A and B are shown apart, each in its own frame.
Chain A
């Protein structure tokens, strides 16, 4: 597609439930990133996929968070046993390479009640 697509745009879930957030990057972009944006905070890096290399998971805040990227394209971020502190906007971005800068999706606003 023309841009980075994220779904759903909004998600309300009960504490303790699992959620899956989807990102469809720009076709041909080899790099894909997940960030989290909490109210009043900057962007917190979560995970980075580059081609067929092992992902850089150094930003994942706990083992409740995981992500995969199938076929070098679509990525899913999974949060297990959601907690209220997981409430945030989850942003996905893709790029040809870091030097080109990222193209961001519009994000998924996750609310844990």
Chain B
């Protein structure tokens, strides 16, 4: 069965510092991979997605993620964090085909220090 692990529950970084949020998945084939962001009181917004091809994908708000098959990872990165990036970030995996739903990790809460 598919599963997603986000090892870090809460991360604090200084504004302007770089960021990496970790995501590991379990799935036999190449999955669909997603990162979503949730601001307080809001729904989830899609940041980026990976299906195939180039393993480094660019998303909105200056985020990028790299798919590493050998490590079953899809880590999210940003070179310089802004205070407005403070939110909760969710990694998700999908099997595609007839299995239509995504499996989400438990999320990583990002705090940004001024």
Q: List chain A positions with a Cβ less than 8 A from chain B.
A: 4, 31, 33, 35, 40-43, 45, 48, 50, 56, 59, 91, 93, 98-99, 101-107
Contacts and interface: CB of A to CB of B under 8 A. Distances in A.
B45 A104 contact: yes
25 contacts: A31-B100, A41-B106, A42-B104, A42-B106, A42-B107, A43-B44, A43-B90, A43-B92, A45-B102, A48-B101, A50-B100, A56-B101, A59-B101, A93-B43, A93-B44, A98-B102, A99-B32, A99-B49, A99-B96, A102-B46, A104-B36, A104-B43, A104-B44, A106-B41, A106-B42
User: Counting chain A CB atoms within 10 Å of each CB, which of B42, B96, B100 scores highest?
Assistant: B100
A98 B96 contact: yes
Contacts, number: 56
A69 B94 CA distance: 23
Interface of B: 32, 34, 36, 41-46, 49, 51, 90, 92, 94, 96, 100-107
| Pairs of residues from A and B, 4 with the lowest C-beta to C-beta distance, nearest first | A104-B43, A42-B106, A43-B104, A104-B44
A18 B72 CA distance: 42
Nearest to B42: A106
Q: Which of A4, A45, A93, A102 has the most CB of B within 10 A?
A: A102
Given A33-B102, A101-B46, A106-B41, 18 more contacts: A4-B43, A31-B100, A33-B100, A42-B90, A42-B105, A43-B44, A45-B101, A48-B100, A56-B100, A56-B101, A91-B43, A91-B44, A98-B101, A101-B34, A102-B44, A102-B102, A104-B45, A106-B42
